[in-house]
Amino acid sequence: MADPILSLDNVVAGYGDTTVLHGVSFDVPKGQRLAIIGRNGVGKTTLLGTIMGLTQLHSGHVAMGGRVIDRVAPHRRAGTGLGLVPQTRDIFPSLSVEENLLSGLRGDATLEEAFALFPRLKERRRNGGGQLSGGEQQMLAIARTLMGRPEVLMLDEPLEGLAPVICDMLMETFETLSADGRHTLLLVEQHTELALDFADRVIILDAGEIVQDASAEALRADPSIIERHVGVGLAGA
């Protein structure tokens, strides 16, 4: 089996003295579509933040491409192949769409790639980030992260608060990114049905620990697992 592109080994992490993650370990093969689900407050956002170096790592290790990156500063982790689209989006409202994209540009990435993925951004390239709708701001946040050429793209609840038609469009975009062979996707999502439709593999977190690590197919075959740990049922179950 090929070496994983991303590995967590017995990670204990949180904020200051507060521990949120308790001994989290998993490997992610290149090209996998991994969904991370669970109730609110169980550590999903903290998990992505820990991979990106945004939390206090108390013990354990995070490795990217076989390289331990525990001591790599958060702003340098993009250079290891990581990209995070945070729940807060964090676009620059006073900069234009084009300027926002340029702020994330690395290597041989081009603005035309972003515009091909999200034509709406090309139409609004001169508009300020603060003038965009919520869905357009999410497109911009994703496109700006992609300008950094991430091998592992982490998406923290990218569909939150968006209209169903925009959610469908974004999920199609994630499918496109996954199919190109260059991206490994980690998706934190409250829409459990959409997460299972997208993912090859699903990790369920509860109280900062992994309580299930299974294929999406296996979880669909036993929906009681989802109901027990996430508190929602599946359509048709």
* Residue-wise DSSP of 108-160: T--HHHHHHH-HHHHHTTTSBGGGS-HHHHHHHHHHHHHTT--SEEEEESTTT
pLDDT of residue 119: 96
In this prediction, residue 108 carries a pLDDT of: 87
Number of structural domains in the chain: 1
CATH of the domain at 48: 3.40.50.300
**Considering the domain boundaries, does residue 176 fall inside one?**
no
| 29: in domain | yes
CA-to-CA separations, 14 to 56, 83, 167, 207, in angstroms, rounded: 5, 20, 30, 12
> CA 187 to CA 224: how far, in whole Å?
22
Structure confidence at residue 236 (pLDDT): 52
Q: HSE on the CB side for 159, CA within 13 Å?
A: 21
Q: In this structure, is residue 212 part of a structural domain?
A: yes
Does a structural domain hold residue 202? yes
The answer to whether residue 137 sits within a structural domain is: no
Q: Is residue 144 part of a domain?
A: no
Q: Is 135 among the domain residues?
A: no
Per-residue pLDDT of the chain (237 residues; tens, 9 = 90+): 568 999 999 999 999 999 999 999 999 999 999 999 999 999 999 999 999 999 999 999 999 999 999 999 998 999 999 999 999 989 999 999 999 999 999 888 899 999 999 999 999 999 999 999 999 999 999 999 999 999 999 999 999 999 999 999 999 999 999 998 889 999 999 889 999 999 999 999 999 999 999 999 999 999 999 999 998 666 554
pLDDT computed for residue 55 by the predictor: 97
For residue 3, what are the CA distances in angstroms to 6, 66, 221? 9, 7, 29
Tell me the CA distances in angstroms from 83 to 7, 52, 156, one per residue in order: 15, 8, 11
pLDDT value, residue 111: 94
The domain of 226 spans 1-81+189-230
- Give domain status of residue 72, yes or no: yes
Beta carbons within 8 Å of 88's beta carbon, 6+ residues apart: none
Q: What is the pLDDT of residue 234?
A: 66
